[in-house]
Structure 1
Amino acid sequence: MENSRRNFIKNTAVASLAVAAAPAKGFAILHNDKQPDEQTIGHNGYTYKVDKNWAKISINNTPLANCHEMVQDSQGRLIMLGDHTHNNVLVFDKSGKLLDYWGTSLPGGHGLSISKEGGEDFLLLTDCGWALDRTGNTYGQSGQVLKTTVDGKLIFAIGHPRTIGIYKDNEPFKPTETAIAPNGDIYVADGYGSDYIIQYNSKGQYIRHFGGHNNSNPDHNLRNAHGVTVDTRDKNNPTLICTSREENCFKVFTLDGKFIKRIDMPGMYVCRAVINDNNIYAGVCWSKNAQGKQFDGSGFVTILDKDNKVISNPGGAAPNYKNGVLQQTLQAPNATFMHGHDVCIDEDKSIYVCQWNANHTAPIKLTRV
């Protein structure tokens, strides 16, 4: 039974090689590891003590490639998805103790969301379909979205949208993220493929899609639609926050795909928005200066308030507004992170930071001070 559970995705796998977490961007510059293990970072009351040794795991028993995303379940457990096929999913308690691990067949394990139905937690896992061959070159494969229980029992899978006639033959499908609406609808962000947001009902049946590249109004387009989040801060008016990472912004849509506004994040290649209370938190995978120079290994975390204004950048420079406009933001000196890929916030307001392309490091805990 245990072996069966740990290998539940085997029949749905498309490949079994190591994976890249993003289209070929080159390898990150290694950081100087001489900075203290414990730092205090952040701004404007959102400051945190850094614990790089939070995760109590053995690289021999639970090796890591990229730690892509993390969510917290109803029991307070922290569930992480990565792309190492020895253990795609790691389950921790808040002290960093490893409670469980499972999943061996998601070589592109990338997106992780959680929903609650009838008192039970369910996961949506996204395989983005980017992998590396044995020589280190990237190649493409079809992505997939899987709904499972928190211990790995497969409920259903969502495959290539071409099979239901909504993608053309030349439109790739490499999904990166999902989000679940209050009514159970599922939104899939095709962030490494054709940049559509695809809406399904709770059973995985297609409703509509929007975004992509060819809208008459360019604000409706998405470029690297890396993340999608249902924003329920206004309970009477939920919206979708979609990442357009190459444009360094979030774009806000209605739940039926109508564009509302954009939230510019100059210089920040932001990942998915994570809502906690009235704030938005996000990992920043890397940053670029006002001249457009992009810096590998330049990630951090960003935090926005209820008005979508940046108030803190743990690991990055302090937010700077001029005439109400956010200025270009770069990583701070003595870098804490390499490529911030996702964050999870617990009930104590601690932040757990997952990183891509960061020398196989485990999630880092930021304890609010």
Structure 2
Amino acid sequence: MNSRRQFIKNTSIAALGGAMVSPLYSFNILKKKPAPDIILGHGDYQYKLNKDWAQISSVRNPILNCHEMVMDSKGRLIMIGDNTDNNIMIFDKSGKLLDYWGTAYPGGHGLTLSIEGEEDFLYLTDSGWFLDKSGKWVHHNGRVSKTTLDGRVVFDIGHPQTVGAYEPGDLFSPTEVAIAPNGDIYVADGYGKDYILHYDAKGQFIRKWGGHKNKDKNYNLMNAHGVTLDLRDPNQPLLCCSSRSENMYKWFTLDGKFVKKLHLTNMYICRAVFDENNLYAGVCWSRPEDGSGHNWKKHTGFVTILEDDKVVSNPGGTAPTYKKGELQASYQLPTQPILHGHDVCVDEDKNLYICQWNAGHTAPLKLERV
């Protein structure tokens, strides 16, 4: 019997090729090596990619597109999307989902935080465009809503036709809102007639500018996708407007006078996000090297970072280069870590949270500053 047991033992060891000689050696063979960190960006602005930051269930909290994100005064991260199971999602910085609400914004697109005294408010922008059940794009009336953080509507801003700013039948498809220090509201009609519509704090119409047919072409806006308050010079608050089809930002005074512009070569940039002296933006597409126009279905996006209005880093894209002071074209990395950059949120540790459009129903990404 003993010789039979010895025979079985020897045969088993032989079959394993001696793998059992060292238990520690065997453990090292089977242990899976962790995937290397993915580092994105350039120079002083480099980040570790965290794809799995958002801790959500695709069943209970489905996502169509993540459009924009802001951080409230308590440090919570609030996201707007266009899935009416949960237009608004609220996260802590670890990615834990704290709350969600909203079923009335099928074209949920823009999100702006306004702090009034000790209370936070949200401005939600519904562009009016959404995919129906057959997969076709359809349009309903665009809408801007001021709400509390738990979704109670304070007031709505409807079609500019109602205040005489548009003609009957004009398309109104707002994409973004900016709030001035005095509470005035600026609405970018980025998918409609490309005007910036100026209202007072109670939603009463004041003026408009932009559009397509100005004698001074600096006032023309082509896909006025974003509008943001720029307070980097406290003595001269400005509005930074995306003229995305021109690959350009244009700055205006708060009463609509043109100040300056910045051409970003081949980047189709979304709203500007300001933090200290920096400008952060999602690049939804980048015009290809052959010089042809962008194909909105193709994944060609990334994120860009500007310091004093000069591009210094392109997380998810190629390194920025300048020749004779002119920014050269930048392109998405072949690995496609970011498909379509639509918005950037910056926390106090300078980590970035990236919302993406047309990215396979993915949740926001986190880029951890290194």
* Structure 1 Cα separation of the partners of residues 238 and 334 of structure 2: 36
Structure-2 residue corresponding to 1:104: 103
Once the two structures are superposed, residues 259-308 of structure 1 have per-residue CA deviations (whole angstroms, 9 ceiling, x without a partner) of 111111111010000000110000000111351342521111000112x0
Structure-2 residue corresponding to 1:305: 307
Structure-2 residue corresponding to 1:133: 132
Q: CA distance change for structure 1 residues 293 and 160 in 2, over 3 Å: closer, same or farther?
A: closer
Q: Determine which structure has greater relative contact order: mean sequence separation of CA pairs < 8 Å that are 6+ residues apart, divided by chain length.
A: 1
* Structure 2 Cα separation of the partners of residues 154 and 329 of structure 1: 41
* Structure 2 Cα separation of the partners of residues 37 and 269 of structure 1: 31
Q: Secondary structure at the match of 2:161?
A: helix
Structure-1 residue corresponding to 2:14: none
Structure-2 residue corresponding to 1:184: 183
Q: 2:229 matched to 1:227?
A: no
* Structure 1 Cα separation of the partners of residues 292 and 235 of structure 2: 39
Q: 2:171 matched to 1:169?
A: no
Q: Secondary structure at the match of 2:212?
A: coil
What amino acid is the match of 1:130? Answer: W
What is the Cα deviation at residue 133 of structure 1? 2.5
* Structure 2 Cα separation of the partners of residues 294 and 147 of structure 1: 34
Q: Secondary structure at the match of 1:329?
A: coil
What is the Cα deviation at residue 134 of structure 1? 2.5
Verify the 8 A CA contact 2:195 2:224 in the aligned structure 1: yes
What amino acid is the match of 1:136? Answer: G
Give the 5 Å matches for 1:146-165: 146-165=145-164
* Structure 2 Cα separation of the partners of residues 82 and 131 of structure 1: 11
Structure-2 residue corresponding to 1:63: 62
* Structure 1 Cα separation of the partners of residues 364 and 281 of structure 2: 14
Once the two structures are superposed, residues 155-191 of structure 1 have per-residue CA deviations (whole angstroms, 9 ceiling, x without a partner) of 0000000011110124210000001111111100000
Q: Secondary structure at the match of 1:163?
A: helix
Q: Secondary structure at the match of 1:294?
A: coil
* Structure 2 Cα separation of the partners of residues 70 and 305 of structure 1: 21
What amino acid is the match of 2:275? Answer: N
Structure-2 residue corresponding to 1:32: none
What is the Cα deviation at residue 333 of structure 1? 2.1
Once the two structures are superposed, residues 116-158 of structure 1 have per-residue CA deviations (whole angstroms, 9 ceiling, x without a partner) of 0011100000000002222212122210000001111110000
Give the 5 Å matches for 1:7-18: none
Length-normalised TM-score, structure 1: 0.89
* Structure 1 Cα separation of the partners of residues 316 and 192 of structure 2: 30
What amino acid is the match of 1:179? Answer: A
Once the two structures are superposed, residues 89-141 of structure 1 have per-residue CA deviations (whole angstroms, 9 ceiling, x without a partner) of 00000000000000111100000000100111000000000022222121222
Once the two structures are superposed, residues 299-341 of structure 1 have per-residue CA deviations (whole angstroms, 9 ceiling, x without a partner) of 11000112x0111100011111111011111112211111110
Q: Secondary structure at the match of 1:162?
A: helix
Verify the 8 A CA contact 1:355 1:363 in the aligned structure 2: yes
What is the Cα deviation at residue 207 of structure 1? 0.9
Verify the 8 A CA contact 2:82 2:130 in the aligned structure 1: no
The count of aligned residue pairs is: 333
Structure-2 residue corresponding to 1:334: 335
Q: Secondary structure at the match of 2:196?
A: strand
Verify the 8 A CA contact 1:37 1:50 in the aligned structure 2: no
- Once superposed, what is the RMSD of the aligned Cα atoms? 1.1
* Structure 2 Cα separation of the partners of residues 266 and 288 of structure 1: 9
What is the Cα deviation at residue 353 of structure 1? 0.1
If you compute each CA radius of gyration, which structure gives the higher value, 1 or 2?
2
What amino acid is the match of 1:283? Answer: G
Verify the 8 A CA contact 1:37 1:52 in the aligned structure 2: no
Structure-2 residue corresponding to 1:25: none
List structure 1 runs of 4+ shifted beyond 3 angstroms. Answer: none
Percent identity, please: 60
* Structure 2 Cα separation of the partners of residues 281 and 73 of structure 1: 18
Verify the 8 A CA contact 1:107 1:131 in the aligned structure 2: yes
* Structure 2 Cα separation of the partners of residues 251 and 301 of structure 1: 19
* Structure 2 Cα separation of the partners of residues 170 and 316 of structure 1: 41
What amino acid is the match of 1:229? Answer: T
* Structure 2 Cα separation of the partners of residues 321 and 254 of structure 1: 29
* Structure 2 Cα separation of the partners of residues 200 and 206 of structure 1: 4
* Structure 2 Cα separation of the partners of residues 178 and 238 of structure 1: 16
Length-normalised TM-score, structure 2: 0.88
Q: Name structure 2 gaps, 5 residues minimum.
A: 1-34
* Structure 2 Cα separation of the partners of residues 105 and 153 of structure 1: 12
* Structure 2 Cα separation of the partners of residues 141 and 193 of structure 1: 12
